[in-house]
């Protein structure tokens, strides 16, 4: 069902992940020195001005204290920018090694989408569910699933529509065009399908589906169905029992794309994946072609948890109904 990751690949993953973490830290530090700081003369007096994202603020008249603030800002801005540039180059080298060693197996589209959500500052509002989540689980355990249980040409993105907070982003493409605006930055050929507005496809036929929970009472459903009220953007499909996944612990893991790129995947707890796949495999109205695959994925991940992730006790996950948890007895 799975094999251990080669030691060379395991070491490369650790090295690349560490480089990525340091780069992210450098980017966070560099953001503290965004914008510019300069002197402006007004009515014969000089004032220290801080300008960030079009917002101009006066820090007061020239003084020894403000001169020190100005000098420190320029010094730290230059230093953090240089450090970020150096680490970005190091990360590019790590990505090339990732690709040369064929370390990554996550589809490039998925990695690109995850990075776009992260850069836009809205990643915590979404989870990758379905087959692609297996890339996060196998990476975490240092193994590779065998067979074709991960073969897929689509990614399911679960939007946590329970949060009524406005999704404010620093990405103009998202603010103006919604999720499809971000997706087009990954691949410009993506477009929302006319007859299936919850789904977008690119020129290669890869699909991105946006789904949300279906509240218990459809008569009291006031949740938004669009992340952004934008024409030609996704309309999320309402799916029953998504609350099981939304209420389960989140699972975060850095995954590697086929092209060597890296991104943090936010998905569901592995135990929740197993239980939900067993539930899907047991449904009478489930596509008969998909049932064996659901069960195979659940069984492979269940075995991985038992052998490599024993700290993840199924007895401690109580968000699923008893009748679903009892399905573990026959796996």
Distance CA 103, CA 106 (A): 10
What angle is formed at CA 257 by the lines to CA 89 and CA 123, rounded to 5 degrees? 85
Q: What percent of the chain has pLDDT over 90?
A: 90
What percent helix, strand, coil does the chain show, rounded to 5?
45, 20, 35
What residues pair up with 180 in beta bridges, in sequence order? none
Q: With a cut of 90, say whether residue 282 has pLDDT above it.
A: yes
CA distance 168 to 212: 19
Beta bridge partners of 52: 55
What b/e sequence results for 135-165 when a residue is b if at least 16 CB atoms lie within 10 Å of its CB, and e otherwise? Answer: bbbbbbbbbbbeeebbebebbbbbbebeeee
**Which of 291, 273, 282, 283 shows the shortest CA–CA distance to 130?**
273
Q: Which two tokens stand for residue 204?
A: 């290669």
Mean pLDDT score, 42-51: 95
pLDDT tens per residue across span 288-316: 999 999 999 999 999 999 999 999 999 99
pLDDT at 54: 84
Token readout for 21 is 């973490």
Q: What is the pLDDT of residue 171?
A: 85
Query: Would you list the domain boundaries of the chain?
Result: 2-100, 108-268
Residues 166-178 pLDDT 10s:
667 778 889 899 9
pLDDT in the model for residue 285: 92
In this predicted structure, the answer to whether residue 198 has a pLDDT above a threshold of 90 is yes
Q: Which residues contact 190 (CB under 8 A, 6 or more apart)?
A: 180, 183, 184, 200, 201, 202, 208
pLDDT at 57 over 80: yes
| 76-129 pLDDT per residue, tens | 999 999 999 999 999 999 999 999 999 999 999 999 999 999 999 999 999 999
pTM > 0.95: no
Q: Which pLDDT does position 98 carry in this prediction? A: 98
Looking at residue 163, its pLDDT comes to: 72
Q: What's the confidence (pLDDT) of residue 165?
A: 55
Residues 223 and 243: beta-carbon distance below 8 Å: no
User: Going by C-beta distance under 8 Å and a sequence separation of 6 or more, which residues neighbour residue 113?
Assistant: 155, 157, 182, 183, 186, 208
Residue 207 exposed, middle or buried by CB count within 10 Å (0-12, 13-18, 19+): middle
Q: What's the confidence (pLDDT) of residue 216?
A: 76
Burial class of residue 242, CB neighbours in 10 A (0-12, 13-18, 19+): buried
CA distances from 202 to 54, 147, 153, 297 (A): 36, 26, 11, 26
């Amino acid at each position: 069902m799975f094999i251990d990751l080669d030691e060379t690949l395991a070491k490369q993953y650790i090295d690349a992940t560490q480089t990525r973490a340091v780069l992210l830290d450098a980017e966070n530090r560099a953001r503290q020195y965004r914008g510019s700081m300069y002197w402006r003369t007004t009515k014969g007096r000089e004032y220290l001005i801080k300008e960030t994202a079009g917002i101009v603020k006066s820090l007061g008249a020239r003084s020894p204290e403000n001169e020190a603030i100005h000098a420190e800002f320029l010094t730290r801005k230059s230093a953090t920018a240089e450090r970020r540039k150096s680490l970005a180059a190091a990360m590019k080298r790590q990505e090339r090694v990732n690709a040369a060693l064929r370390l990554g197996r996550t589809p490039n589209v998925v990695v690109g989408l995850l990075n776009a959500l992260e850069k836009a500052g809205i990643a915590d509002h979404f989870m990758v569910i379905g087959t692609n989540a297996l890339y996060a689980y196998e990476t975490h355990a240092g193994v590779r699933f065998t067979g074709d249980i991960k073969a897929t040409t689509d990614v399911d993105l679960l939007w946590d529509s329970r949060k009524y907070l406005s999704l404010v982003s620093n990405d103009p493409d998202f603010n103006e065009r919604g999720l499809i605006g971000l997706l087009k930055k990954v691949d410009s050929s993506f477009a929302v399908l006319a007859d299936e507005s919850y789904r977008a496809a690119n020129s290669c036929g890869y699909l991105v589906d946006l789904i949300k929970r279906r509240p218990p009472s459809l008569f009291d459903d006031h949740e938004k169905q669009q992340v952004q009220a934008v024409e030609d953007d996704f309309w999320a499909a309402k799916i029953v029992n998504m609350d099981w996944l939304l209420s389960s612990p989140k699972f975060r893991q850095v995954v590697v794309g086929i092209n060597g790129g890296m991104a943090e995947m936010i998905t569901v707890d592995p135990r929740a994946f197993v239980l939900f796949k067993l539930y899907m495999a047991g449904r009478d109205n489930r596509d008969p072609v998909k049932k064996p695959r659901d069960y195979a994925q659940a069984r492979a991940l269940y075995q991985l948890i038992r052998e490599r992730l024993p700290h993840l006790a199924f007895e401690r996950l109580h968000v699923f109904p008893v009748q679903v948890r009892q399905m573990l007895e026959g796996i």
